[in-house]
Each structure stands twice: as C-alpha cells, then as structure tokens.
Structure 1
Amino acid sequence: MLMLLGAKSAAASAARGDHFRFNWLLLTAAVLALSGCMPATTSGAGADPADPAAKAARVAYRSTVAPYTSLRPAAPAPWRERNDAVTPQPKQDQ
C-alpha cells in the first residue's frame, strides 16, 4: 500500500517536475521497510528475554476484592450521636 502511494506520488511529481517530494517519500518508505529488520531489544535495555538464566521479578497475586467487608445487615445507629462524632470541634480561642 505504501509502495503504491509512493508510485502514484512519483508519477505525479514527475509530471510536475517536482523530484523532492518523490525522494522524500522513497526515503520514508525505505526507512519504514528497514525498521522491521531492527531487533526488538537492544543490549542496553536489560536482560535478554531469550536467556533462561535471566532474573525476573516474582509473580504475586493480589485479589481485587480482598479488602471488601459486607455491611449488611447493619443495625441503624442513633443519627444525632453519629453526626456529633464527625462535626468539627469549635475553636477554643474565640
């Protein structure tokens, strides 16, 4: 698909006499085609994934529902005491 687009652009550029756009598209197509030949990892990125002796992080299981505690059935509490427990205390200096 990219090569077809480059060919169409080259034909249009040749008709107009504009060779810079064709060269740019050809260079872009070559870079994209050659980028598939690059290795996925580099030597500075860490351990080689194909090395069976490479160290790896331990696998840990954490449940997503572990902290859940059921609140039903809950006995109703007196609302005035609960409200007074969470209200801010008045300042002493006033």
Structure 2
Amino acid sequence: MLTLSGAKSAAASAARGGQFRFHWPILALVTLALCGCMPATTQIAGADPADPAARAARTGYRSTIAPYTSLRPAAPAPWRDPNDAAAPQPKQDR
C-alpha cells in the first residue's frame, strides 16, 4: 500500500512539473522515534485491570427463570371422559 501511495505521489508530482519527492523511509523513522517517546500504556477508563488491589463494581444476580410459575395442576384430572369425547365415533354401518 505504501508503494502504491508513493507511486501516486510521484505521478502527481510529475504531472505538476515539480520535483517534490516524498521519502517514505524518513517518515517511517520519524514515526518510530516519536512512538518511542510515548508511554507504554495509558489509562483510558478506570483502574488497571491487572492490579489486584483495584476496586471493581459489584456484580448483580438475575435469575434466568425468575418469571416462571408452574402451571401444573395440584391433582391430576380424570382423563377417560375427555379422551373418549375427543376420539372419533365408530361407524355404525359395519
């Protein structure tokens, strides 16, 4: 990608007729030198998670089955009469 950017820059410079030439290796060295001056870590938000003495927020508990209520009847209902009522009636022709 850097090669492509360098080629575009060279083409644009040639089209303008100027002799401006961008030196990518020099930019890379300057960037590395400036990165060496920055701190290794930064505090973005809150305490360091690797610190065992750091305070943390308490965790809350939410039950996954909290709204559940049993719909099971207290005693089994008789099943013979509803079963016979739902069954198809036998044909009288045979």
Smaller-chain TM-score bracket: 0.3 to 0.5
Hey, which of these two has a bigger chunk of helix by percent?
Answer: 1
TM-score, normalised to structure 2, is: 0.40
